Amino acid sequence: MVFNSYTFIAFLIIMLILHNLPFSWKVKKINLLLASYVFYAAWNPPFILLLWLSTVVDYFVGRALYTQENKHKRKLLLVLSLIGNLGMLCFFKYGTFLLDNFTHLVNLFGMDFHPAKPNIILPAGISFYTFTTLCYTIDMYKRKSEPVKSLLDFSLFVTFFPHLVAGPIVRPPQLVPQFETERKASRQQLMQGLLLVSLGLFMKVVLADSMLAPTANDIFWPGGAPLKTLDAWTGVLAFSGQIFCDFAGYSTCAIGVALCLGFVLPHNFLYPYAAIGFSDFWRRWHITLSAWLRDYLYIPLGGNRNGKIRTYMNLMITMLLGGLWHGANWTFVVWGALHGAYLWGEKIIQDLRKKPVMASMHGVPSAEVGVLGTIPKEFKAKTFRNFIYAMITFFFINVTWVFFRSPDFHSAWSLLTSMFSSVPKAEAYLTTLSIIKVMVIIVFIVAFHWLMRNTKVLTVAEKMPWWLLGIAWSVLLILLIWSQESSSSFIYFQF
């Protein structure tokens, strides 16, 4: 079930009615849990067994990790949890990828090995709910918080349908306490939630699917082809806007749906195309994943504590694995490597200037900040110099999207060649109207990000006159209804 479907609208209306009936809080939580299973089972019902298995195992392992005093048994329990969760993720998401690479490797050594192609279906959202349960067991091992009191609350924490399939990646302290006492949306929360759902669907349906995806699909295709430089850049910019509007649109919908039910989810995007530098980009793009990689990978590897060489190694390992998390293809690894190289370059410049760009972040020592951090006050100002820095950052980010979207290296290299040189016999694939449409939308997105980079949509909405907010909201809904031609899945469902 996808947010951008009439089925989900009916599903949400039913849930809002049930959630506001005079049932006990326990009954309401059971309703939410059953609804979440229905929401997930709409894709492929058998995969709900994996969700149940992950939930039950990690609930009891987490309690045992917290109460067990024997260090060796605690480590064994943690290893079992890691093997179970990561093993399941590796099999379903990377099984075919690992087998293909192993086959190529042994064939290089002269062995005639050609196994049957496995028919593995990727369960929706497995990367997201695996990371959600992993952070619980790791936190229990470190005793950062107390175990969840009931299996019902833990099951709802893992499977709560707004965040289940594509995030935000939530942690127990962010959501579990909200299940302990009855939650019901106030009138203001309901209106804010519906506004966010409308905005998220507008970003997905109107901007991503209707306006940008067709142009991106015309440029990104297997094998590649010689393109005019303008066409190549237009296609890349189209995908840059598409992936933001698609993923940020989902996160906005998820936060809005949760708010309609009285729950608060963490923000996942903060105008990333207004980022000043690459650390700032990862502070603004997929924030919950960036924080997860920082806290559960970068810092445990040693963070910034063991010298510059180890810092650079830890940073690159984190970004490489972050890239691989996005998909079972070496192009994603290169995408992560490019971001790691960008962060390297940024850190080298900081070290040469001996003036760190990032400050410490809410309880994280400054020595540990590297993947995600805050920016100094001078970079918060909307000055012309900072705008130039932001556009330089946006330029390099667009280069990385070539590898993220391209199906193979040949296609990526062909497109990069077209972007940065005049290719002989290159053909024009895009119409003038398509180019103008993409450029106008991208300018609008970048300008909006820059103007809003230090604020939030709901903050601005609260300050608007009611009539102006009503007009803007009506325009969103009219364009949304006008553009609703399909119910295509969100891009991050495949991750």
Query: Which residues are the active-site residues?
Result: 326
Distance CA 435, CA 212 (A): 10
The CA radius of gyration of the chain, in Å to the nearest whole number, is 23
Residue 467 vs residues 46, 201, 383, 464, 490: alpha-carbon distances, Å: 48, 22, 32, 8, 32
Q: CB of 238 within 8 A of CB of 440?
A: no
State both tokens at 385.
Answer: 């110099």
Burial class (CB in 10 A: 0-12, 13-18, 19+), 148: buried
Q: d(Cα 220, Cα 234) in Å, to the nearest integer?
A: 11
DSSP string, 254-281: HHHHHHHTT-------S-GGG-SSHHHH
8 A C-beta contact, residue 254 and residue 162 = yes
- Sole residue written with tokens 């939030």: 456
CA-based angle 93:282:400, to the nearest 5? 65
C-alpha span between 226 and 415 (Å, rounded): 8
Question: What are the backbone dihedrals phi and psi of residue 463, each rounded to the nearest 5 degrees, phi first?
Answer: -90, -15
Local structure of 364: helix, strand or coil: strand
| Six-digit token string for 55 | 């939930």
**What are the two backbone dihedrals, phi and then psi, of residue 380, each rounded to the nearest 5 degrees?**
-90, -20
User: Containing H/E element for 203?
Assistant: none
